[in-house]
Structures are given as structure tokens and as C-alpha cells.
Amino acid sequence: MASDQRDLAMLAAVVRQAGGEIAQVTYALAKFHQRLIADGQQPARILYVYRTNRPVDATMAASGDTPRPGLRPRLLLAFLSADAAVSFAQRTGLARSPRLLTLSPARALAIFLQQPGLSALHIAYDDLAAPDGLPVGWRLSRAEVLAMFAIDSRVV
């Protein structure tokens, strides 16, 4: 529970720093969970993301650089289960043995807000790829995430 409180405090600080409304933090997280339930998923206490050692991912994630022309926009891909994250990474060749990181939804949203080079947050429901190559799930654009916290998109 202490880490949940730290993650909420972290998200509130990031939202405040970006000029958003701190009062929206609890409401936005509730809406986040409600959307998962509406999509037939369990509310997530933990999201699973993986790191790869691919040069583009590692370099851009560390530096915050904008993508070069011709490259896909960067996104934060988070899975509802560790098994789905590993399976997707291995099946798609993204990594032979991906390093899984666990994040609460609050921490994932805070990290997303802190990385202006990320264009979307994609919550993967399983490891099955949709026609666009990403796993089936819920994709939140940067504009949608900013709106969740009443952050002016011209500022961030």
C-alpha cells in the first residue's frame, strides 16, 4: 500500500508540474479502471512493460529524442499480465529474454506524462496482435491522457 501512495503522490506531482488539476488524479485513475472493466478486463493494480536492447528503443527511451522520419511514433506498451508481455515480445522478435518491469497505473501515467516523445499509451489485453501489429487493447493518445488531467496540450 505504501508504494501505491508513493505512486499517487508521484502522479500528482507530475500533473501539478505540467499545469494540470491535481483533483483529477483520483478521478482519472477511477475512469482508467472503469474503462478496463467496460472492456471485460480486470482492473489493473500492476502493469507489465518490457525493455528491449534494440538500439532505437534504448537510445530514444533514454534520451527522449523525437523519432526520425520513417520510424513509428514511440508509445508506452503495457500489458495486463506478465505472461502476455513475454509472449508478445518473444513471438514478435522484440527481445529474446525481455526484462519485465512492473508499474502501477499511476506510475505508468506519470512516466508517460514525463516523456513528451511518447505519442500514446497502449494497454495490451493479451498477446494477440491486431492488424496494426500491436496487441489487442486500449490505446490512449497523448491528447487523451493530457485531457484526463486537464493539462493544456500546448504547454506539454
Q: What is the pLDDT of residues 58-90, one digit of tens each?
A: 333 333 344 445 456 788 999 999 999 888 888
Cα radius of gyration (the chain): 15
Phi and psi at residue 17, to the nearest 5°: -60, -35
Provide the pLDDT confidence category of residue 43 given band limits of 50, 70 and 90.
confident
Q: Which residues of 119-147 are buried (b: 16+ CB within 10 A; e: fewer)?
A: bbbbbbbbbeeeeeebbebbbbebeebbb
pLDDT of residue 50: 79
Find the largest Cα–Cα distance for the chain: 43
Q: Which of 32-36, 50-54, 98-102, 122-126 has the lowest mean pLDDT?
A: 50-54
pLDDT over 70 percentage in the chain: 81
Where are the domains positioned within the chain?
Answer: 2-65+72-148
> Would you give the DSSP letter of residue 136?
E
Higher model confidence: residue 9 or residue 70?
9
Q: What's the whole-number mean pLDDT along residues 132-156? A: 89
Helix, strand, coil shares of the chain, percent, nearest 5, are 45, 20, 35
Give the Cα-Cα-Cα angle 129, 133, 134 (nearest 5 degrees): 65
For the segment 2-14, the average pLDDT, to the nearest whole number, is 92
Name which of 114, 155, 153, 121 is nearest 137 in CA terms: 121
Q: What is the pLDDT, as a whole number, of residue 61?
A: 36
CA angle 102, 107, 113 (to 5 degrees): 130
- d(CA 121, CA 108) in angstroms, rounded, equals 9
Do 113 and 103 touch, CB atoms closer than 8 A?
A: no
More reliable by pLDDT, 59 or 48 = 48
User: Would you state the cell numbers that stand for residue 1, as one nine-digit string?
Assistant: 500500500
Rounded Cα–Cα distance for residues 75 and 71 (Å): 12
pTM: 0.82
Tell me what the mean pLDDT of segment 28-37 comes to. 94
